[in-house]
């Protein structure tokens, strides 16, 4: 029978020295490990009473071997008490709140630890002192004590009033129980205590906190039955079992001990030296020096990164990895071994694009398909298929048979063995077979910043050594193909497979769960292709149309709609649209796009119309499957169209005509004149000051405005000069790639460079570079780049551009670091929240976090586009 019990609560407490001794299996007295024969020394740090790590030996405490013995603690008797680093501040808190003479609590409202940290010398407020002095607020006070308490309390009150008169005068506080003057206490981290500037010995500290009564400790937040402050001072140091700090034997036969063992050797050695000196009656100074050294070794044994003390090092110079280092941080036990673990049934390799597979597929190399397996339950319906899998010699075959009793049997190498195993295959057992086309997987790219960083993809086994991803699916992963690697996981239970198939598969994630707009959408060449497919001039021959149709799986050609037996691109595209789709929208090019009953009749498709209403409407009306097929077909057709049309740029495409250059020049000259004019007004103080700004700030603001207007004006010149047939302008206008600004900077001028949204000002005294005259305020001196990338920048312009460029670079570096940390905190805070069937959001103990999910019960993905406000479209809310 299985015995179950429910864990009601878990209580953490401190070990008392008695407890340490009681649970100790061995008192460790020898600062060494093995003797010359390689056998553990009795009373040494690998004493067999603490368990064993050598296969041949048995534990002296429980008699178990390496595998059986759980390990047992030992202990070291400290010759003098030693403070536990991690608890120094707790002891300081107790001392700060108790009297050094009568050891009673000073105030009913203890000085909080946080308050102590802020200012060590903090004066207790006059009100607090008064409140404490009131006799009726004391509990269980004997009459005599009350008498005693009265005198100082009035004295305190007098003092409180004197303090009001001169705040700066140092107040001497007194214990209101016994009248003892309270000393000035200081904690110098990590473990040095000072009383009125005199160093306190751990014995004194221990005696003080040990004398505090149970009642007062409870008042201070302790549970004295389980944790008393004097237990924070070691008189007996626990020594962890050997299997916690196993030694490793090198190939040479040499033994190498764990860092913890090394540290414990130091502790014992100094402990013994201290004992010898005390017994020999050495001078107090020498004893205190050794005592301090012992404190150092115990401190670094717990945490070798303690502030204000040098870390203990190996002879090689490498700092020792002690207790705290095992647990802390990214590589510590918690984050490395517990929160995140290595997993089986996963693969990782470089990704590369494949626009011919479906967007919800992932192409995997055969080598990976032959390595990963998925469990397959043997039923009476698939028995024959399962037998065949067992019989097979090559790729899709079963590798293991898991019998119903849980035993795993490897499928045999020889045909006879396999034949026998196939014949014995029974319903109820299961197979572990190779993954094949159509299996579900979870595909992931790090950093996993949102839930769509992990999506369900169908397996497609392909030749090659990379994962193949449809380029239309890169955006949720933020992937590109410049060497990015991704992880693939094969799900091992039917439940998780169903979840991947029905909840996290790519086609269910076409719209963002954050803003409800499309995130898996045609990009770059897809957009160019769609434009070349659907603009008014696009006509295709019968052959071309047939090829396109074949590729998207349509086998019937419509009637040609252009004379000469030609097909318009609009007609071809329309055949992909659902029949009930009617839309009217304005395109990025400013023309009308009209779709009537699934027929595109006017306008050319570009990025905005495609990813905007078109995709979202189809998704909301027809669901994931239909939208997936539509996207697959549309992108495939688009790529065909761009292949037929061709799209390329050359240097000539980024050159202005003579006339254009003159126009740019005149715009820039105008700007220079305006700036000169403003500077003149500034210099003779006739410039009108803007409210809330200095005159200089006013001038800078106006100049920045002029430079940005100039850039816009130049943009217009560039646009009209290069014309709509220029590929770079087309790409910018339809939203395929690049912007008008890119074209401006390449052809006309790079324009104003800024640092922190201001004209560049840093560098030398009153100028950016020695090249300039001091104090000049015109364009060139303050970061306006008159050259274009085409003509080339002057040396000082290059400098200014670099200054502006570096800011952008630094910002992205900082943003990624910060968003990574923010992700960690959010995951920790929200990891157990779940939306239940009744739409409440609850945490792990079923407490309600939100009565209705999102406050309105709406899934942004399935909200109609009209209901989603435009302002949430800003993509940078999360990282701003
Ligand atoms: Mg990359
Ligand atoms: Zn044992
Ligand atoms: Zn006292």
Give 90-117 pLDDT, tens digit per residue.
999 998 888 888 888 887 555 555 555 4
Q: How far apart are CA 331 and CA 320, in angstroms?
A: 15
pLDDT at 35 over 60: yes
pLDDT at 302 over 50: yes
Residues, the chain, total? 880
Strands (E) located in 68-166? 74-83
Beta-carbon contacts of residue 372 (< 8 Å; ≥ 6 apart)? 345, 346, 347, 434, 435, 490
- Please state, in angstroms and as integers, the Cα–Cα distance from residue 620 to each residue in 507, 576, 605, 610, 769, following that order: 12, 17, 20, 14, 58
Ligand approaching nearest to the C-alpha of 65 = 2
Cα of 70 from ligand 2 centre, angstroms: 6
Cα of 189 from ligand 3 centre, angstroms: 26
Residue 17's pLDDT is: 93
Residue 165's pLDDT is: 46
Going by pLDDT thresholds of 50, 70 and 90, the confidence category of residue 379 is very high
pLDDT at 611 over 50: yes
Cα of 444 from ligand 1 centre, angstroms: 14
Cα of 106 from ligand 3 centre, angstroms: 8
Question: Which helix (DSSP H) or strand (DSSP E) does residue 444 occupy?
Answer: strand 440-444
Q: Are strands 454-462 and 361-365 parallel, antiparallel or unpaired?
A: parallel
CB-CB contact of 652 with 608 (8 Å): no
Half-sphere exposure of 771 (CA within 13 A, CB side): 12
Going by pLDDT thresholds of 50, 70 and 90, the confidence category of residue 355 is very high
Going by pLDDT thresholds of 50, 70 and 90, the confidence category of residue 687 is confident
CB-CB contact of 491 with 502 (8 Å): no
Residue 465's pLDDT is: 96
- Please state, in angstroms and as integers, the Cα–Cα distance from residue 100 to each residue in 95, 103, 217, following that order: 7, 5, 15
The better pLDDT of the pair 101, 136 is held by: 101
Ligand approaching nearest to the C-alpha of 480 = 1
- 711-767: pLDDT as tens digits: 999 999 999 998 888 998 989 988 889 899 999 999 999 999 989 888 888 888 888
Cα of 101 from ligand 3 centre, angstroms: 5
Cα of 452 from ligand 1 centre, angstroms: 18
- Mean pLDDT of the region 420-426: 89
Cα of 63 from ligand 2 centre, angstroms: 6
- Mean pLDDT of the region 483-505: 95
What structural domains and CATH numbers belong to the chain?
A: 25-72+240-334 (4.10.860.120), 122-183 (no CATH), 346-509 (2.40.40.20), 525-647 (1.10.274.100), 652-793 (1.10.132.30), 812-873 (no CATH)
CB-CB contact of 750 with 785 (8 Å): yes
Annotate 379-391 with b (16+ C-beta within 10 A) or e (fewer): eeeeeeebbebbb
Average pLDDT, the chain: 86
Cα of 182 from ligand 3 centre, angstroms: 8
Going by pLDDT thresholds of 50, 70 and 90, the confidence category of residue 260 is very high
- 382-405: pLDDT as tens digits: 999 999 999 998 889 999 999 989
Ligand approaching nearest to the C-alpha of 58 = 2
Cα of 149 from ligand 3 centre, angstroms: 10
- 69-86: pLDDT as tens digits: 999 999 999 999 999 999
Going by pLDDT thresholds of 50, 70 and 90, the confidence category of residue 810 is very high
Ligand approaching nearest to the C-alpha of 50 = 2
* Weakest-pLDDT range from 167-171, 552-556, 711-715, 761-765: 167-171
Six-digit token pair at 29? 């007295």
Cα of 837 from ligand 3 centre, angstroms: 61
**Residues surrounding ion ligand 2 at CB below 5 Å:** 51, 59, 61-62, 64, 69
- 641-673: pLDDT as tens digits: 999 999 998 898 898 999 999 999 999 999 999
**Residues surrounding ion ligand 1 at CB below 5 Å:** 480, 482, 484
Ligand approaching nearest to the C-alpha of 53 = 2
Cα of 739 from ligand 1 centre, angstroms: 21
pLDDT at 529 over 90: yes
Residue 849's pLDDT is: 93
Cα of 34 from ligand 2 centre, angstroms: 18
Ligand approaching nearest to the C-alpha of 352 = 1
Residue 197's pLDDT is: 86
Cα of 426 from ligand 2 centre, angstroms: 44
Q: How far apart are CA 847 and CA 837, in angstroms?
A: 15
CB-CB contact of 722 with 656 (8 Å): yes
Ligand approaching nearest to the C-alpha of 216 = 3
Cα of 330 from ligand 2 centre, angstroms: 32
Residue 108's pLDDT is: 57
What is the phi/psi pair of residue 703, to 5°?
Answer: -65, -45
Going by pLDDT thresholds of 50, 70 and 90, the confidence category of residue 561 is confident
Residue 614's pLDDT is: 86
Cα of 522 from ligand 1 centre, angstroms: 19
Question: Which helix (DSSP H) or strand (DSSP E) does residue 845 occupy?
Answer: none
Cα of 64 from ligand 2 centre, angstroms: 5
Ligand approaching nearest to the C-alpha of 69 = 2
Cα of 58 from ligand 2 centre, angstroms: 8
Residue 219's pLDDT is: 87
Cα of 485 from ligand 1 centre, angstroms: 8
pLDDT at 129 over 70: no
Cα of 351 from ligand 1 centre, angstroms: 10
Which residues are paired to 434 by β-bridges? 373
Q: Checking phi first, is residue 38 left (phi over 0); if not, alpha (psi -120 to 50) or beta?
A: left
* Weakest-pLDDT range from 63-67, 610-614, 645-649: 610-614
Q: How far apart are CA 468 and CA 80, in angstroms?
A: 67
Ligand approaching nearest to the C-alpha of 26 = 2
Cα of 169 from ligand 3 centre, angstroms: 23
Q: How far apart are CA 614 and CA 626, in angstroms?
A: 13
The better pLDDT of the pair 310, 249 is held by: 310
Q: For a pLDDT cut of 70, what percent of the chain falls above it?
A: 91
Cα of 152 from ligand 3 centre, angstroms: 11
Q: How far apart are CA 762 and CA 103, in angstroms?
A: 61
Cα of 482 from ligand 1 centre, angstroms: 5
- 285-297: pLDDT as tens digits: 998 999 999 999 9
Ligand approaching nearest to the C-alpha of 74 = 2
- Mean pLDDT of the region 680-696: 89
Residue 127's pLDDT is: 38
Residue 876's pLDDT is: 40
Residue 114's pLDDT is: 53
Cα of 615 from ligand 1 centre, angstroms: 27
pLDDT at 559 over 90: no
Beta-carbon contacts of residue 704 (< 8 Å; ≥ 6 apart)? 752, 754, 758, 759
pLDDT at 166 over 50: no
Output the CA torsion 552→557→563→568 (10° steps).
-20
Alpha carbon 849 to chain centroid, angstroms: 24
Cα of 82 from ligand 3 centre, angstroms: 26
**Peptide bond before residue 190 is cis, with ω within 30 degrees of 0:** yes
Residue 395's pLDDT is: 87
CB-CB contact of 830 with 799 (8 Å): no
Cα of 72 from ligand 2 centre, angstroms: 6
Residue 171's pLDDT is: 56
Cα of 610 from ligand 1 centre, angstroms: 26
CB-CB contact of 734 with 693 (8 Å): no
Ligand approaching nearest to the C-alpha of 67 = 2
Output the CA torsion 690→691→696→698 (10° steps).
-30
Q: For tokens 């905190």, name the residue.
A: 825
Cα of 292 from ligand 3 centre, angstroms: 30
Query: Terminus-to-terminus CA distance in the chain, angstroms?
Result: 57
Residue 138's pLDDT is: 38
Cα of 234 from ligand 2 centre, angstroms: 25
- Mean pLDDT of the region 429-450: 93
Residue 860's pLDDT is: 78
């Amino acid at each position: 029978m299985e015995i179950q019990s429910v864990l009601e609560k878990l209580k953490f407490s401190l070990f008392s020295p008695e407890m340490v001794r009681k649970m100790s299996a061995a008192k460790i007295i020898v600062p060494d490990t093995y003797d010359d024969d390689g056998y553990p020394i009795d009373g040494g740090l690998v004493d067999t009473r603490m368990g064993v790590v050598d296969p041949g030996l048995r534990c002296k405490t429980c008699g178990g071997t390496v595998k059986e013995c759980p390990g047992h603690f030992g202990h070291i008797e400290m010759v003098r008490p030693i403070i536990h680093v991690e608890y120094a501040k707790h002891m300081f808190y107790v001392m700060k709140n108790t009297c050094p003479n009568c050891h009673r609590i000073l105030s009913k409202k203890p000085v909080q630890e946080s308050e102590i940290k802020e200012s060590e010398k903090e004066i207790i407020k006059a009100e607090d002192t008064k409140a404490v002095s009131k006799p009726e607020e004391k509990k269980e006070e004997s009459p005599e004590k009350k008498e005693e308490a009265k005198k100082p309390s009035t004295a305190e009150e007098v003092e409180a009033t004197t303090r009001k008169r001169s705040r700066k005068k140092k107040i001497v506080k007194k214990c209101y129980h016994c009248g003892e003057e309270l000393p000035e206490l200081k904690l110098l981290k990590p473990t040095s205590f000072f009383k009125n500037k005199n160093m306190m010995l751990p014995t004194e500290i221990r005696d003080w906190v040990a004398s505090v009564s149970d009642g007062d400790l409870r008042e201070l937040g302790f549970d004295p039955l389980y944790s008393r402050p004097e237990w924070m001072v070691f008189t007996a140091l626990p020594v962890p079992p050997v299997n916690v700090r196993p030694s490793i034997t090198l190939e040479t036969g040499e033994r190498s001990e764990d860092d913890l063992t090394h540290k414990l050797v130091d502790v014992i050695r100094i402990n013994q030296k201290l004992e010898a000196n005390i017994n020999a009656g050495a001078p107090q100074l020498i004893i205190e020096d050794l005592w301090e050294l012992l404190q150092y070794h115990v401190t670094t044994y717990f945490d070798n990164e303690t502030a204000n003390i040098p870390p203990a090092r190996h002879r090689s110079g490498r700092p020792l990895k002690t207790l705290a280092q095992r647990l802390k941080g990214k590589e510590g036990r918690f984050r490395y071994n517990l929160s995140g673990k290595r997993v089986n049934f996963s693969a990782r390799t470089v990704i590369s694009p494949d626009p011919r597979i479906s967007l919800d597929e992932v192409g995997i190399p055969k080598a990976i398909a032959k390595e990963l397996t998925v469990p397959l339950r043997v039923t009476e319906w698939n028995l024959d298929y399962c037998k065949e899998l067992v019989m097979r010699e090559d790729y899709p075959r079963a590798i293991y048979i898991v019998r119903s009793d849980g035993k795993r049997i490897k499928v045999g190498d020889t045909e006879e063995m396999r034949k026998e195993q196939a014949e014995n295959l029974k319903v109820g057992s299961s197979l572990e077979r190779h993954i094949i086309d159509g299996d579900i997987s979870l595909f992931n790219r790090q950093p996993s910043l949102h839930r769509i960083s992990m999506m369900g993809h169908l397996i497609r086994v392909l030749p090659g050594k990379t994962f193949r991803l449809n380029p239309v699916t890169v955006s949720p992963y933020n992937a590109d193909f410049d060497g990015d690697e991704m992880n693939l996981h094969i799900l091992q239970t039917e439940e998780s497979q169903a979840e991947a198939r029905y909840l996290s598969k790519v086609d269910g994630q076409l719209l963002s769960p954050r803003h409800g707009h499309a995130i898996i959408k045609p990009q770059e060449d897809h957009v160019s292709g769609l434009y070349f497919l659907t603009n008014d001039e696009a006509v295709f021959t019968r052959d071309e149309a047939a090829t396109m149709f074949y590729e998207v799986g349509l086998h019937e050609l419509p009637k040609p709609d252009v004379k000469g037996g030609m097909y318009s691109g609009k007609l071809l595209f329309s055949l992909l649209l659902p029949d009930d789709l009617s839309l009217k929208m304005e395109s990025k090019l400013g023309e009308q796009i009209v779709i009537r009953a699934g027929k595109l009749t006017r306008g050319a498709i570009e990025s905005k119309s495609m990813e905007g209403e078109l995709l979202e409407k189809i998704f909301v009306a027809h669901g994931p499957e239909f939208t997936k097929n539509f996207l697959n077909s549309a992108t495939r057709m688009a790529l065909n169209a761009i292949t037929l049309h061709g799209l390329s740029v050359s240097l000539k495409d980024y050159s202005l005509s003579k006339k254009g250059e003159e126009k740019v020049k005149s715009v820039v000259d105008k700007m220079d004149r305006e700036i000169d004019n403003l500077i003149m007004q500034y210099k003779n103080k006739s410039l009108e000051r803007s409210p809330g700004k200095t005159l200089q700030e006013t001038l800078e603001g106006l100049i920045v405005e002029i430079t940005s207007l100039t850039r816009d004006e130049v943009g217009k010149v560039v646009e009209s000069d290069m014309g709509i047939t220029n590929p770079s302008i087309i790409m910018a206008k339809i939203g395929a790639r690049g912007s008008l600004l890119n074209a401006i900077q390449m052809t006309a001028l790079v324009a104003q460079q800024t640092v922190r949204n201001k004209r560049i000002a840093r560098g030398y005294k009153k100028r950016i570079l020695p090249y300039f005259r001091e104090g000049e305020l015109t364009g060139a001196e303050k970061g306006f780049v008159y050259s274009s990338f085409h003509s080339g920048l002057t040396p000082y312009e290059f400098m200014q551009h670099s200054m502006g460029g570096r800011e952008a670079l630094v910002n992205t570096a900082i943003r990624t670091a910060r968003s990574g940390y923010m992700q960690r905190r959010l995951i920790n805070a929200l990891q157990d929240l779940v939306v239940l069937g009744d739409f409440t959001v609850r945490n792990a103990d079923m407490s309600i976090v939100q009565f209705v999910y999102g406050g309105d019960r709406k899934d942004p993905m399935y909200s109609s586009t009209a209901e989603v406000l435009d302002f949430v479209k800003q993509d940078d809310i999360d990282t701003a």
